[in-house]
Structure 1
Amino acid sequence: MLRKIGYSLLCAGSLFSASALAMTYNIMPGPGASFEYKLLANSPIMIGNPYYHKMTATCTIFSEDESNEIIVEMILKSSKVNNEEIKSGETRPFNIPSGSKLVLEADGRAVVKLLNKGPSDITAKCTI
C-alpha cells in the first residue's frame, strides 16, 4: 500500500513538473531583433559574433557630426562591411556619414575591434 502511494506521488510530481521542463526558450535572437552600440570618441570596443554561423546586421549610424571615421580591426575570423571583406589581422578605416546604413556580415565566432576617430560619440542601432 505504501509503495502504491509512493508511486502515485512520483507520477503526480512528474506530471506537474513536465510542463515546466517542456517550456521552450528562445536564446537566439530572431529576425527583427535589435541591438544598440555606443562608440565613444577615441575609445575602442570589441564586438563578437557569439554564434557558430554567419550573421548579417544592418546598422543605422547616428552622430552629431556629418561624417565619422571608424577604424575596423579584425581580431578573429573575417567579416564584410558594406560588401568589403576584412580578414583576420587587417585594419581598415571607414568614413561613415551620419544617418547612413551600414551592412555588417560576420563569420561565426568572429571578433572585431572598432575605434571611433571622430570628436563626438556615435550610436549604431542594428537589426538582424
Structure 2
Amino acid sequence: MASFVLSLHSSQSDYTSAMNLIHFANAACDAGHSIEAIFLYQDAVWHSSPHIVTPSDEYPIHQQWQKLADRGLNLLLCVTAAEKRGINLNSTAPFTVAGLAEFAMTTAKADKWIQFK
C-alpha cells in the first residue's frame, strides 16, 4: 500500500478543492493506504479559523476536517501562512501548527505528495 502526503492551497470560499482532498483521503484510507499528513498552506490556512461559519446549505467542511482528525490523520497548518493572515495560533483545532521543514520531512518519507489547489 502507498503512503501519501496531501496539501491544500485554496481558501474556504473555494471549497471544491478541499472537498476533493477530503474525498480522496477517505477513499485512500478505506482502500488501506496511509495518509501521513494533510498540510494546509497559503490561503488554505483559513480552514482552521473558528470564525468562519459555513451556511447550512453548503458542504460542512469543518465537520469533515474533524472526521479526518477522528480517523487519526495528522492535520497540519503552516505557521508562516497562518501568521501572515492573522490566524490565532492558539485556536486551530483540529489542526496542528507546523512549519515547512516538518512538511518537507514528512513528504520526503511518503510515496506520493498530492497537491489540491
Give TM-score, length-normalised by structure 1.
0.28
Which structure features the higher share of helix residues? 2
Q: Higher Cα Rg: structure 1 or 2? A: 1
Which structure features the higher share of strand residues? 1
Give TM-score, length-normalised by structure 2.
0.30
